[in-house]
Amino acid sequence: MAERTRVLFLCTGNSCRSQMAEGWARTLKADCIDAYSAGIEAHGLNPLAVRVMAEAGVDIRGQKSQTVDDLAEQTFDVVVTVCGHAHEACPVFPGAPQVVHVGFDDPPKLAKHAATEAEALQPYRRVRDEIRAFIETLPAGLTAPDTSRETRV
């Protein structure tokens, strides 16, 4: 059996986008990817991210928000930054893994002024689906240049 690619999905707070990416990778690509997620900071697991992932059949409740320091003993083949801040502040990792930026919009930021919970869930679902589409391209998609999907809000 071929060795799986060790991928770290990195975001600012490891609460939403990186957690969704880890969940999708564990669900869709367990045969070829060992998935991890971390943040520059730990903000806790976002309950709306957990909810929209569950709607799609992926349970991320058991994942925990952690920082890159929590994974200091791990080595990675690839670090995927999923937000602009993590890309700009990406630390240096042992073994010099490839760093790929694939930015996604920040659902909590987009949902901040939502009038209802149903309205707030819309950007979470959109970003969840965009992350899934990216994960489906892996591991070949890891060699792509910056493919940011972030919009400025």
So which residues are the catalytic ones? Answer: 11, 83, 90
In a domain, 153, yes or no: no
Secondary structure in 3-state letters for 71-112: HCCCCCCEEEECCHHHHHCCCCCCCCCEEEECCCCCHHHHHC
pLDDT of 151 strictly over 60: no
Q: pTM for this one?
A: 0.89
Print the domain residue range for 129: 5-143
Who has greater pLDDT, 49 or 139? Answer: 49
- pLDDT, position 58: 98
Percent of the chain with pLDDT over 90: 70
Residue 73 inside a domain? The answer is: yes
Q: What is the pLDDT of residue 59?
A: 98
* Domain annotation covers residue 71: yes
In a domain, 152, yes or no: no
Task: Report the CATH number that the domain containing residue 30 is assigned in CATH.
Answer: 3.40.50.2300
Banded model confidence at residue 148, pLDDT cuts 50, 70, 90: low
Does residue 148 lie in a domain region?
Answer: no
Work out the average pLDDT over 142-146: 60
151 domain residue, yes or no: no
Segments of the chain assigned E as strands = 5-11, 33-39, 78-81, 98-101
Q: Quick: pLDDT tens for 14-39.
A: 999 999 999 999 999 999 999 999 99
149 inside domain = no
| Distance (Å, whole) CA 83 – CA 139 | 19
Mean pLDDT of 60-77: 93
Look at the chain and report how many structural domains it folds into. Answer: 1
As to burial, measured by CB atoms within 10 angstroms (0-12 exposed, 13-18 middle, 19+ buried), residue 87 is buried
Residue 131 lies in a domain: yes
| 31 vs 86: CA distance, rounded Å | 27
Q: Which of 21, 65, 59, 15 is nearest to 7 (CA)?
A: 21
Summarised one tens digit per residue, pLDDT across range 72-122 is 888 999 999 998 887 777 777 777 789 899 999 999 999 999 999 999 999
What is the rounded average pLDDT of the residues 121-130? Answer: 98
